[in-house]
């Protein structure tokens, strides 16, 4: 099986290093991915920087149309995407199908938001010196951004990084999970086919410790990370002056009071706790039960 290539400046690239992708349920190999080097990552950042002028020049309707094409392309290939998700994460195909539907929706919403760049007009007559003057507030693309995504939702959490950035006109350097990168690379092919400018999306497949440049390089103006709290706060500490967006693991607690329908509570809490093997930021991790119904609940 030929190894999957990573994407830099519109070109599919290989390297001298490969990493095997293993289905955690079966323990079997489902593919190989070329690993990006430090030089490759530097090139990806440079490509995003170069693409910024063209990305921010896109009219809002052009960004909307690109995002709409991505959404429709995923929809037309939903079976292929679901099978890819299951093959590299081991999750049930029904869960993968649900994730695909969510990603279709995510890009559709991003397409709608691309044409809603809001601003403000403010009167400045709160002081005599500015009487008769008006302030116009406009929003502009921030610049090249980095996205780092986890293994548990390898399509929709990538969509959460790409959709908003593309809607705003910002090029992206994406680092998908090293254990589940195949679906992200499949999505990248669709993004290229949808007409995003060259360098508007760059995907580097590498281990976490090799991606530190995405955190420290000042050419990137924002980093968006989804994953564990320990890694997220470490990223924030090393990010310098760039903006940081963190979606970290939860510590969700549930309270069961004595007036609760216990049968219904248990029915809801079992999938809430164990769905996706608990690998979800919204999984139930603590249950507080009123003492008077504790034994009945158990």
Helices 60-76 and 182-193 meet at what angle, rounded to 10?
Answer: 130
Spatial separation of the C-alpha atoms in residues 169 and 107, rounded to whole Å: 14
H or E stretch covering 76: helix 60-76
Of the candidates 73, 247, 63, the residue with the CA atom closest to the CA atom of residue 163: 63
* 52-71 core/surface letters (b: 16 or more CB in 10 A; e: else): beebeebeeeebbbbbbbbb
Per residue, the 3-state secondary structure of 14-75, as one string, reads CCCCEEEEECCCCCCEEEEEECCCHHHHHHHHHHHHHHHHHHHHCCHHHHHHHHHHHHHHHH
Q: Do the beta carbons of residue 100 and residue 82 sit within 8 Å?
A: yes
281 is catalytic: yes
Of 32, 62, 75, 247, which is the active-site residue? 247
170 is catalytic: no
* 12-27 core/surface letters (b: 16 or more CB in 10 A; e: else): ebebeeebebbbeeee
- Around 198, how many Cα atoms within 13 Å sit in the side-chain half-sphere? 5
Sign of the dihedral through C-alpha 56, 184, 111, 147: negative
Q: Going by DSSP bridges, is the β-strand pair 6-8/11-13 parallel, antiparallel, or unpaired?
A: antiparallel
Spatial separation of the C-alpha atoms in residues 116 and 110, rounded to whole Å: 10
Of 32, 75, 101, 281, which is the active-site residue? 281
Active-site positions read 247, 281
């Amino acid at each position: 099986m030929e190894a999957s290539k990573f994407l830099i400046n519109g070109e599919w690239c290989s390297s001298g290093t490969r990493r095997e992708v293993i289905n955690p349920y079966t323990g079997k190999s489902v593919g190989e991915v070329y690993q990006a080097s430090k030089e490759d990552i530097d090139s990806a950042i440079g490509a995003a920087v170069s693409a910024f002028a063209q990305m921010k020049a896109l009219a809002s309707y052009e960004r909307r149309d690109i995002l709409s094409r991505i959404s429709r392309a995923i929809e037309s290939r939903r079976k292929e995407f679901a099978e890819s998700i299951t093959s590299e994460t081991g999750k049930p195909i029904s869960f993968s199908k649900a994730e695909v539907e969510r990603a279709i929706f995510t890009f559709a919403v991003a397409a709608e938001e691309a044409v809603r760049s809001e601003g403000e007009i403010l009167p400045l007559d709160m002081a005599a010196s500015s009487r008769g003057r008006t302030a116009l507030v406009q929003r502009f693309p921030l610049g090249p951004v980095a996205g780092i995504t986890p293994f548990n939702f390898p399509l929709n959490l990538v969509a959460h990084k790409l959709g908003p950035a593309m809607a705003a006109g910002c090029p992206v350097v994406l680092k998908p999970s090293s254990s589940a990168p195949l679906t992200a690379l499949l999505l990248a092919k669709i993004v290229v086919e949808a007409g995003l400018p060259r360098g508007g999306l760059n995907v580097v497949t590498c281990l976490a410790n090799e991606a530190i440049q995405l955190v420290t390089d000042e050419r990137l103006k924002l980093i968006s990370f989804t994953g564990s709290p320990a890694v997220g706060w470490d990223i924030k500490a090393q990010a310098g002056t760039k903006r940081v967006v963190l979606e970290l693991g939860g510590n969700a607690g549930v309270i069961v009071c004595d007036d609760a329908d216990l049968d219904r509570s248990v029915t809801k809490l079992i999938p809430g706790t164990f769905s996706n093997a608990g690998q979800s930021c919204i999984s139930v991790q603590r249950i507080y039960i009123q003492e008077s119904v504790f034994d009945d609940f158990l």
